[in-house]
Amino acid sequence: MPGEQQHYVPQFLLKNFTHGKKPKIFVYDKSNDKRFHTNIKNVAAENGFYDLEVEDTVLTMEPGLAHLEANTSRIIRKLTKTRSIKSLSEDE
């Protein structure tokens, strides 16, 4: 949906770097030299990052990327669980 928060690093990848009972990620903001923990929903994202305004219309790549991420995340989960590419099918 145009204008919504869109992650330029997919959340399924960020999840692999979380820790704790309520999964948080450690963040370093080099622009202001700040360090903090936060939910993955709050990092590596901007509103309308994949949107393009053409005349009076807003086009977005988000739905297509979401579809690719859904298919890819399943494969990444399988790889991180098995720690081997031998577990992948030929299609994967």
pLDDT digits (tens), the chain, 92 positions: 666 899 999 999 999 999 999 999 999 999 999 999 999 999 999 999 999 999 999 999 999 999 999 999 999 999 999 999 999 999 98
CB burial of 15-47 (b: ≥16 within 10 Å; e: otherwise) equals eeeeeeeeebbeeeeeeeeeeeeeebeebbbee
Sign of CA dihedral 28, 48, 12, 84: negative
Q: How far apart are CA 53 and CA 82, in angstroms?
A: 43
Average pLDDT score over the chain? 92
pLDDT of residue 4: 87
pTM of the model: 0.77
Q: Are 25 and 18 in contact (CB under 8 A)?
A: yes
